[in-house]
Amino acid sequence: MKNKLLTKLLLLPMALIMGSTAFAQMTVSGTVSDANGPVPGVNVVVQGTSSGAQTDFDGNYSISDVASDATLVFSYIGYATQEVAVNGQSTVDVTLAEDAQALAEVVVIGYGTTTVKDATGSVTAVTAEDFNQGVITSPEQLIQGKTAGVQISQSNGEPGAGIDIRIRGAASVRSNNNPLFVVDGIPLSGGNTSAETANTGIGSNSVKNPLAFINPNDIESISILKDAS
């Protein structure tokens, strides 16, 4: 009788230890990258919960209070979503693969990126397959006549001469009517663009073509935002 009681008392602490191990909470961290290096802004969520984080500029993330048997979901626009089991590991590194179909639906707008179906503004994209062919000396010639509501004219025939681009007419809330040019996420600045004149972006000086420094053959696509996006 005493032996049976002792066995039961020994089994009880062992069961408690096993139970606490199965539901152990831990901090999981790691790096998310793709074929070109770290990917910032990736959403990392613990599956079935609202707990998660976003990767920083170097692609690093850290999530606390994660169950050892949890599954992490990695998602980012233009990449295939991945689900990775933690399996008690404190470090989980992931390499994302591009999703060609999802990438084709991505639209870059003034304040970030979104998808075609979620975009509320008017955005037109002209890809390399639809560019004008022939002798092209300046990037804007690639899309001349390709988009409704967009008028492009050049002040004279000199190389690098100024251009006028009008989107949906000449009306504008700014002091000039030329658009803002953004190349790979970087706004281009014109010669007299300043806070004093309340001008933001290129187009305030029509003497020089702001796109003249770009080789038309290096352009993959051109997106035109026809509203305040």
Mean pLDDT, the chain cut into blocks of 10 residues (229 residues total) = 48 49 78 92 92 92 93 89 93 88 56 53 72 81 79 72 71 60 68 36 55 81 68
In order of 22, 43, 64, 69, 90, the CA distances from 17 in angstroms are 9, 34, 22, 16, 20
pLDDT at residue number 171? 56
Q: Minimal CA–CA distance to 74: which of 37, 103, 115, 34?
A: 34
Which domains does the chain carry? Answer: 2-99 (2.60.40.1120), 105-225 (2.170.130)
pLDDT at residue number 205? 45
pLDDT at residue number 27? 93
The single-letter DSSP state of residue 2 is H
pLDDT at residue number 227? 62
pLDDT at residue number 89? 93
pLDDT at residue number 84? 94
Q: Minimal CA–CA distance to 33: which of 99, 98, 95?
A: 95
pLDDT at residue number 132? 84
pLDDT at residue number 47? 93
